[in-house]
């Protein structure tokens, strides 16, 4: 048996939603139940980390898209610096956002 876990990202920008794989669970038919039932901790961490990465990427892209233009007139704002900002999440993932 193989179960694939996917995330569907709908950016609501007129393009079709993108389907991304979070992970897959593979179990053999003759697997002894005493070897573990359900998801293993490692599998959940891997899928959660992948989901967090996808979510951070989408949130960063949305933020950058809105932050490059003036909220009042829509004119492109000047770039003040090119250094990166580091944000840490609960899963200890780092996301670097260029300024």
Which residues contact Zn ion by CB under 5 A? 70, 72-73
Nearest C-alpha neighbor of 77 from the set 65, 69, 85, 89: 69
Least distance in Å: CB of 68 to Zn ion?
12
Least distance in Å: CB of 77 to Zn ion?
8
Least distance in Å: CB of 72 to Zn ion?
4
Task: Give the residue with the Cβ less far from Zn ion, 15 or 70.
Answer: 70
Beta strands in the chain (DSSP E): 2-9, 18-26, 84-88, 94-98
CA–CA dist 94, 54 (Å, integer): 12
Task: Give the residue with the Cβ less far from Zn ion, 24 or 64.
Answer: 64
Task: Give the residue with the Cβ less far from Zn ion, 14 or 72.
Answer: 72
Strand partners, 76: 69
């Amino acid at each position: 048996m193989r179960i694939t876990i996917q995330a569907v990202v709908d950016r609501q920008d007129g393009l079709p939603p993108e389907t991304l794989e979070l992970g897959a669970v593979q179990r053999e038919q003759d697997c002894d139940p005493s070897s573990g039932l359900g998801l293993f901790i490692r599998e959940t961490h891997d899928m959660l980390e992948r989901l967090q990465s996808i979510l951070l990427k989408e949130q960063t892209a949305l933020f950058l898209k809105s932050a490059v233009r003036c909220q009042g007139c829509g004119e492109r704002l000047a770039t003040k610096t090119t250094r990166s900002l580091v944000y840490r999440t609960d899963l200890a993932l780092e996301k670097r956002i260029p300024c």
